[in-house]
Amino acid sequence: MNQDLRREREAASFNPELLTHVLDGSPENTRRRREIENLILNDPDFQHEDLNFLTRSQRYEVAVRKSANMVKKMREFGIADPKEIMWFKKIHLVNFVEPVGLNFSMFIPTLLNQGTTAQQEKWLHSSQGLQIIGTYAQTEMGHGTHLRGLETTATYDPETQKFILNSPTVTSIKWWPGGLGKTSNHAIVLAQLITKGKCYGLHAFIVPIREIGTHKPLPGITVGDIGPKFGYDEMDNGYLKMDNYRIPRENMLMKYAQVKPDGTYVKPVSNKLTYGTMVFVRSFLVGVAARSLSKACTIAIRYSAVRHQSEIKPGEPEPQILDFQTQQYKLFPLLATAYAFQFVGAYVKETYHRINEGIGQGDLSELPELHALVAGLKAFTSWTTNAAIEACRMACGGHGYSHCSGLPNIYVTFTPTCTFEGENTVMMLQTARFLMKSYDQVHSGKLVGGMVSYLNDLPTQRIQPRQVAVWPTVVDIDSPDSLTEAYKLRAARLVEIAAKNLQNEAIQRESKEVAWNLTSVDLVQASEAHCHYVAVKLFSEKLLKIQDKSVHAVLRNLCLLYCLYGISQKAGDFLQGSIMTESQITQVNQRIKELLTAIRPDAVALVDAFDFQDVTLGSVLGRYDGNVYENLFEWAKKSPLNKSEVHESYYKYLKPLQSKL
């Protein structure tokens, strides 16, 4: 092991294993996760060449091979618990991309949620057994987050009892669905249902797209890959165009709405339930953000402990770059953020499961707040993580730009999270809508509960009896609880400003919708402040549950850093709202620097606690053993450009260039 890393690990003030248990939820979870990881690492069927040296088609091929293997192995190993499936895939797929995956993550769940018992009987068995491979086609070339704008039509023909599917325009071509381009032979297509001359809005249809046996597109179907992307090389995101393509009436998913053989439309009872899948996916994405950022921090911090550069004092040996204050200032707030998001992710997951049980018993009361909260948190964590991964990459200097660092892959795989499953700005505005509703509710004299209960305490509204105690005058910058209060005040203030601006615009413009658009920058800001408050609150509350003293001490420092760094970044908000004074901000900045020094000795142990295997990190710079340079050189020698000593282009162009001029 590299000497620097060995020293770092020996000097740590706590046992990272205990912190790993906290992150996994229990020692038992850690044990089982590692057991599964070892199953894969020791399995020769899962070995493959470094993806960085392969073309896109080759990478797709590897992914399909692994995807196919995975289905078989999971049965073999008896892995069925969703959490275990996730672990299995995490270690198995460096980039977490699998072309056959949409069959399991979207096709089957949609079938289960929206299909009748008869429909489930017909398709569930064959899709679970991969007789058919399904995907889910919603987004169109010209239409994304705004669902009602989709153009694909399904027109019912009572004579033949069939639906006629059409992509009437270029913009209506289905575009982006994963696994659609090359892999799947069926798709659940979202289309505008038209029957008896009337449009009834979006409904889901099971559409066969490729012939079983030959895999050729069926007549009336144009299907293919949408071409190269920023990342996700392994995934065949596809397009689908349908021309008068007929499917039987029974292929419309009819658990809720129905079309009778004669074309009569029967309305669904409630459509709130369709929220469920979206909330689930978004809450899952919060966890993805946490893990992606944790990986990036692991790589950047380990490399910064191995890399030596410049001199702090002339004549002294070059120090580890992690000893530079600027490097600590770049990385440690991100490390603190990674931990914050780990706890936010765990909270969202638990809450989802809790509320989902309620839904199962017909209790939908908590769904609106969860839906609003998860939308905002998905946007908040993914925006932050997106910038943070890139900051980690740049903190590794030039080598961060090479694929050997693994960081470009983490970035390009993560960044779509900002735009898919609901574009972030739109997500923030959904949260804002809930905040405005809650604000109005308080305004009309009703208390609100849950995470927005602080709106009850607004000075202008104050309907709580105990007025004096609620607004603390002095923020204690060494207390996570007191800092949480400060974030609460900031959120309350920005929600109120947005609400008032919205009211003013509404009076001036005489249209609520125009007013909404002209206030949307404020609204996004309010949502961000709300989400930031939630993250700070969850981190502070987590501290109470940590028993081990040394782990508690180090997490407390991280929590303080997370809170204070946020204040320093948004100091304008805290000053403008008179939540803190100028001299307090100066103290905050001073305290941040002290915390950097305090965290420094534990930095490597803190990333070790994330417990990523080298294979999962996929990084030469982030190796556990720290032997960076030797392995970097070995890695580069494998580059396709080094296959021959003199490159073909020399004979074709360089030699003639030298002689012709």
Partner 1 sequence: MDSPVHRVSLGDTWSRRVHPDIASERFIQSFSVEQLTNILDGGAQNTALRRKVESIIHSDPEFSVKDNYFMTQNERYVAAVQKKFHLQIIAKRLGWSENSPELYYAYRALSGELALGLHTVFLKSLQSLGSEEQIAKWTLLCNEFRIIASYAQTELGHGTNLRGLETEATYDAATQEFVVHSPTLTATKWWPGDLGRSATHTLVQAQLICSGARQGMHAFIVPIRSLRDHTPLPGVTVGDIGPKMDYDHTDHGFLRLDHVRIPRENMLSRFAQVLPDGTYVKLGTQQTNYFSMVVVRVELLLGEIIPLLQKACVIAIRYSTIRRQSSIQPSDPEAKILDYQTQQQKLLPQLATAYAFHFLASNLLEFLHSSYDAIRNKDFSHLPELHALSAGIKAMTSDLCLQGSELCRRACGGHGYSKLSGLPSLVTRVTASCTYEGDNTVLYLQTARFLVKNFLQAHAIPGSTQKSLPPSVAYLTAPYLARCPAQKAADFLHPKLYTTAWAHVAARLIKESAHHLETLMQSGADWDKAWNQTTVIHLQTAKAHCYYISVKSFTETLEKLENKPAVQQVLKRLCDLYALHSILTNAADFLHDGFLSGAQVDAMRTGYLELLGLIRKDAILLTDAFDFTDPSLNSALGCYDGNVYERLFHWAQKSPTNTQGNPAYEKYLRPLLQSWKSKL
Q: Which of residues 420-449 bind partner 1 (CB under 8 A)?
A: 420, 423-425, 429
- The least CB distance from residue 176 to partner 1, in Å, is 5
Contact 343, 542 (CB under 8 A): yes
Q: Tell me which of 42, 310, 361, 547 binds partner 1, using CB under 8 A.
A: 310
Using CB under 8 A as the binding rule, whether residue 145 contacts partner 1 is answered as yes
Report angle CA 378, 175, 210 to the nearest 5 degrees. 120
Residue 528 is among the residues annotated as catalytic for this protein: no
Using CB under 8 A as the binding rule, whether residue 633 contacts partner 1 is answered as yes
- The least CB distance from residue 651 to partner 1, in Å, is 8
Q: Which residues contact 641 (CB under 8 A, 6 or more apart)?
A: 647
Using CB under 8 A as the binding rule, whether residue 212 contacts partner 1 is answered as yes
Q: For residues 433 and 159, give the distance between their C-alpha atoms in angstroms, rounded to a whole number.
A: 45
Using CB under 8 A as the binding rule, whether residue 308 contacts partner 1 is answered as yes
Distances (CA, A) of 305 to 105, 329, 394: 39, 15, 15
- Nearer to partner 1 (CB atom), residue 16 or residue 231: 231
DSSP state of 258: E
Using CB under 8 A as the binding rule, whether residue 504 contacts partner 1 is answered as no
602, exposed or middle or buried, with CB in 10 Å at 0-12, 13-18, 19+?
buried
Residue 222 annotated as lining a ligand binding site: no
Contact 524, 429 (CB under 8 A): yes
314, exposed or middle or buried, with CB in 10 Å at 0-12, 13-18, 19+?
exposed
- The least CB distance from residue 399 to partner 1, in Å, is 8
Q: Looking at 369, 421, 485, 528, which residue is catalytic?
A: 421
- The least CB distance from residue 395 to partner 1, in Å, is 9
Q: Tell me which of 18, 273, 394, 546 binds partner 1, using CB under 8 A.
A: 394
- Of 283-291, 340-348, 401-409, 470-478, the segment contacting partner 1 by CB under 8 A is 401-409
Using CB under 8 A as the binding rule, whether residue 151 contacts partner 1 is answered as no
Using CB under 8 A as the binding rule, whether residue 312 contacts partner 1 is answered as yes
Q: For residues 530 and 550, give the distance between their C-alpha atoms in angstroms, rounded to a whole number.
A: 31
* Token representation of residue 289: 């953000």
Using CB under 8 A as the binding rule, whether residue 262 contacts partner 1 is answered as no
Among the residues of 510-543, which ranges form H helices?
512-518, 520-543
Using CB under 8 A as the binding rule, whether residue 630 contacts partner 1 is answered as yes
Using CB under 8 A as the binding rule, whether residue 326 contacts partner 1 is answered as yes
Using CB under 8 A as the binding rule, whether residue 656 contacts partner 1 is answered as yes
Q: Tell me which of 160, 467, 508, 642 binds partner 1, using CB under 8 A.
A: 642
Burial call 411-428: b when 16+ CB within 10 Å, e when fewer: bbbbbbbbebbbebbebb
Using CB under 8 A as the binding rule, whether residue 75 contacts partner 1 is answered as no
Segment 552 to 571, residues that bind partner 1, using CB under 8 A: 570-571
Number of residues that bind partner 1 (CB under 8 A): 128
Q: What is the DSSP string of 148-159?
A: GG---EEEEETT
Nearest to 86 by CA among 129, 19, 25: 25
- Nearer to partner 1 (CB atom), residue 215 or residue 354: 215
- Nearer to partner 1 (CB atom), residue 28 or residue 650: 650
Which residues belong to the active site? 421
The annotation places the binding site at 139, 178
